[in-house]
Structure 1
Amino acid sequence: MSTKEFQDHETSLSWQLEVAEETIAGRGLIVAEYFDEGCSRRRSWSKRPFAAALLTATQSPDRGFDAVVVGEYERAFYGDQFRAVMTFLAEQGVQLWLPEAGGPVDLGDPAHQALMLLLGSQSWREVLRARHRVMAAMRAQVCTQGRFLGGRPPYGYRLVDAGPHPNSAHAQWGRRLHRLEPDPVTAPWVRWIFEQRASGRSVAGIARELNDREVPCPSGADRARNPHRSGRAWITRTVAGILENPRYTGRQVWNRHGTLHNPGSARRAGGAGGRMDERDYVVSNAPAHPALVDEATFRSIQGMRAARKLQGGGTRTYRLAGLIVCGRCGRRFDSHWVNNRAGYRCRHGHTSARNQAPVMKNTYVREDHLLAALRARLSDVASDDDTALADYVRTKRLMIVYLGPDWAIE
């Protein structure tokens, strides 16, 4: 049973058990049941608790059964899972029975081979079709209706009732729609954040003042929806996330975050399962809730994310950014420009969002010194081009572990 919220345990178990009993009627008895809840068919059997327990039980010499019967193919298998499970069971001397096959599956039988191909294709198509239908419907609901599709409301907003569900059947069951409304406690702080950023203030400076003024951070202001977060303090990433969220302009936005299984998530700004590219955002055609910032201000702030220009018009370049890890605390070094040259530092947990002294003395290393040492260490591949040397380290997924003045490559 893939979803607990929309399916009943007893009902789902009963009809699958009934099908299994009809399949083996007069030929055997069921001596044990294995039923997973809340597991998608896309998960391999080894990652489903009861399916994994079944595979383990088949390896026992006193298991008490010689065959496994599945209530429905589509509930048990997806993609090439059937052949993998069938092979494993055959190695243990256990048959696999399916109601679609009328009994034990024999892959030596051409009819059974064709049947398994058909069932596998059907299972894959069912998932794909449902996914496309749901996503297409969600796009339409956001674009044309500006509908709130669920999840935690953004910091600065709260959920209020928006009337009965437009689907008459859902409405009869008492389901209601929700919309976003400015929260009287947190909305003023969101407006303040945008005002401060528009005036040219740094993200870290905004986070510091919020912490100094003891303003609850998003996870601290809504503990019920954020039990997995500490809720202790603002960090620069939280402030930046608010400044980058187009929902504060009053428009409903969907598909800002993707998953590995999302067919529309080919372009991601933050890696697999991370932030989607802005071109993939689904935005409502008209405002859907009260805005906390006007669109002109919002757009101007987004341009401030670019690298700050120097007086001469250029930008600073850090070739080894993200490639150096502190040997003391395990954190990545920050890029740091000092004495007119590129360098890196680790403040051992101290962040610019807090006014506190670091626990340990900061660690610094100059980029030119580290590049020279790298060139000597990687003499067989190094070149005189510093950028090419840094690209080699990045391409090979190497990390520089620095414990000044000692360092190593991992």
Structure 2
Amino acid sequence: MSTVEFQDRETSLGWQREAAKETVGGHGVIVAEFFDEGCSRRLPWRQRPAAAQLMAAAEQTNRSFDAVVIGEYERAFYGDQFDAVLTALRARGIQLWLPKAGGPVNLDDPVHQALMLFLGSQSRREVLRARHRVLAAMHVQSRVQGRFLGGRPPYGYRLADAGPHPNRAHASWGRRLHRLEPDPAARWVRWIFEQRATGRSVAGIARELNDLGVPCPSSADRERNRHRTRHEWIVRTVVGILENPRYTGRQVWNRHGARTTASAHHRVPTRPPAARGWAESEKVTHPALVDEATFSAIQGTRAARPTQHGDTRTYVLAGLVQCQLCGRRLDSHWVNGRPGYRCRHGHTSARNRPPGLAKNVYVREDHLLDDLRARFPEKLGDGDDGSAIADYVRSNHLTLICGGPTQELKPCGPPRIRATADETTEGQLQLLLL
């Protein structure tokens, strides 16, 4: 059962159980049940709790069953998942029964082969069709109607009743629409935009908010932020407010792209309106906390600015340098007219520096490039601008590890290379500042 909000467990489990019992009637009895709730069929079985438990039970020699019956194919499988599960079960001498097959599945039978191909294609088509319809409908509802489509309200807003649901069936069930209205924290949102419009840095805004004791979004709305443990303003939080067009009074939907990593530390990229279906309402739908002219001007201040010589700063090894002391990626840092990389070990400009924090690690880019050229003279040569070296490091999945075991760094002289016998084995080329 993929959606717990719109389905009843007893009903969904009941009809699937009845289908399974009818399939095995006269052949056997059901001795155990595995029923996943809130898991999409698109997830692999190992990521579904009950399905993973079933496969783990199948591996036991003293298991209480010798066949598995699926109540409904489309509830259990997506795409080619069926083949993988059937293969794993058959390797352990376990049959797989389906109501639509009338019993155990036998892939040596051409009829069963065609049936499984059809069911797999149909399951995929059902998901894609439902996804297309839902996304298209939500796009129209946001752009044309300016409807609030759920989720947590932005900091500075709260939800208010906006009348009955336009769908008659939903309205008869008592469902209501919602809209955004300012709450007491709206004054701080306006203050953030005012400060940024004067040219003040984002870090300075975050510091003053912390000094004033202003509740940050995670502490102001604990019910929706119970997964967050830190309750202070950070630069990323302020930037998120400054980038959010909903503060102009327009409803926005589908502004963020999907995460490409499971880590919660990676920022979800914001996409331009024309990319991949970002929908913005054609009219103002709720009270604005900043006018559109100010909002647009503030976005411009975040664009890359040329140096006094008119060129743009570039960092060839950006994202490839890692701190040996704390494991963080070094930040690109321009100092004394040249690119470099530094690590402040988690310290940000939004709060005062802890007294016991290790000293910053800093390394110049030209020193790193010189050492790489010396390390790989036969592969890279020394006449390039560093781009070829960076491509080589990325393509070989290498990481530059900088910062020695002590916290003392010499201010002059390039870092010396200490490389393992086979650096590609560990996936890292260690550069230690000695």
Could you state the TM-score of these two structures normalised by the residue count of structure 1? 0.92
Determine whether 1:331 maps to 2:298.
no
Pick which of 169-178 and 398-407 moved more: 398-407
Shift in alpha-carbon separation, 1:85–1:357, aligned structure 2, 3 A: closer
C-alpha distance in structure 2 between counterparts of 1:196 and 1:391, whole Å: 41
Q: Is contact 2:13–2:35 with CA below 8 Å preserved after alignment?
A: yes
Aligned alpha-carbon RMSD (Å): 2.1
C-alpha distance in structure 2 between counterparts of 1:272 and 1:318, whole Å: 20
Tell me the residue number matched to 2:97.
97
Q: Is contact 2:332–2:339 with CA below 8 Å preserved after alignment?
A: yes
Q: Which runs of 5+ in 2 are unaligned?
A: 405-414, 420-428
Determine whether 1:82 maps to 2:71.
no
Tell me the residue number matched to 1:131.
131
C-alpha distance in structure 1 between counterparts of 2:298 and 2:397, whole Å: 34
C-alpha distance in structure 1 between counterparts of 2:220 and 2:5, whole Å: 27
Q: Is contact 1:259–1:272 with CA below 8 Å preserved after alignment?
A: no
Tell me the residue number matched to 1:370.
368
Q: Which runs of 5+ in 1 are unaligned?
A: 262-269
Determine whether 1:319 maps to 2:296.
no
Runs of 4+ in 1 over 4 A off after TM superposition: 270-274, 404-408
C-alpha distance in structure 2 between counterparts of 1:17 and 1:273, whole Å: 41
Q: Is contact 1:220–1:230 with CA below 8 Å preserved after alignment?
A: no
Tell me the residue number matched to 2:412.
none
Deviations 1:329-350 (A, max 9, x none): 1222222222222222222222
Tell me the residue number matched to 2:274.
279
Tell me the residue number matched to 1:217.
216
C-alpha distance in structure 2 between counterparts of 1:176 and 1:121, whole Å: 37
Tell me the residue number matched to 2:349.
352
C-alpha distance in structure 2 between counterparts of 1:211 and 1:107, whole Å: 65
Q: Is contact 2:315–2:339 with CA below 8 Å preserved after alignment?
A: yes
* Map 1:154-165 → 2, pairs under 5 A: 154-165=154-165
Could you state the TM-score of these two structures normalised by the residue count of structure 2? 0.87
Q: Match of 2:55, SS? A: helix
Shift in alpha-carbon separation, 1:15–1:305, aligned structure 2, 3 A: same
- How many aligned positions are there? 401
- 1:304 CA displacement: 1.3
Tell me the residue number matched to 1:251.
250
Name the aligned partner's letter for residue 249 of structure 1: T
Shift in alpha-carbon separation, 1:275–1:339, aligned structure 2, 3 A: closer
- 1:172 CA displacement: 2.0
C-alpha distance in structure 1 between counterparts of 2:249 and 2:136, whole Å: 22
- 1:273 CA displacement: 6.5
- 1:180 CA displacement: 0.5
Q: Match of 1:344, SS? A: strand
Determine whether 1:291 maps to 2:288.
yes
- 1:137 CA displacement: 0.8
Pick which of 252-261 and 50-59 moved more: 252-261
C-alpha distance in structure 2 between counterparts of 1:3 and 1:156, whole Å: 30
C-alpha distance in structure 1 between counterparts of 2:76 and 2:268, whole Å: 25
C-alpha distance in structure 1 between counterparts of 2:259 and 2:326, whole Å: 32
Pick which of 400-409 and 199-208 moved more: 400-409
Q: Is contact 1:322–1:333 with CA below 8 Å preserved after alignment?
A: yes
- 1:83 CA displacement: 1.1
Name the aligned partner's letter for residue 214 of structure 1: G
Name the aligned partner's letter for residue 198 of structure 1: A
Shift in alpha-carbon separation, 1:335–1:56, aligned structure 2, 3 A: closer
- 1:131 CA displacement: 0.7
Q: Is contact 1:218–1:231 with CA below 8 Å preserved after alignment?
A: no
Tell me the residue number matched to 2:73.
73
Determine whether 1:23 maps to 2:23.
yes
C-alpha distance in structure 2 between counterparts of 1:186 and 1:337, whole Å: 36
Q: Is contact 1:252–1:288 with CA below 8 Å preserved after alignment?
A: yes
Name the aligned partner's letter for residue 279 of structure 1: A
Shift in alpha-carbon separation, 1:24–1:6, aligned structure 2, 3 A: same
Determine whether 1:307 maps to 2:297.
no
Q: Match of 1:154, SS? A: coil
C-alpha distance in structure 2 between counterparts of 1:352 and 1:273, whole Å: 22
Shift in alpha-carbon separation, 1:93–1:273, aligned structure 2, 3 A: farther
Shift in alpha-carbon separation, 1:138–1:17, aligned structure 2, 3 A: same
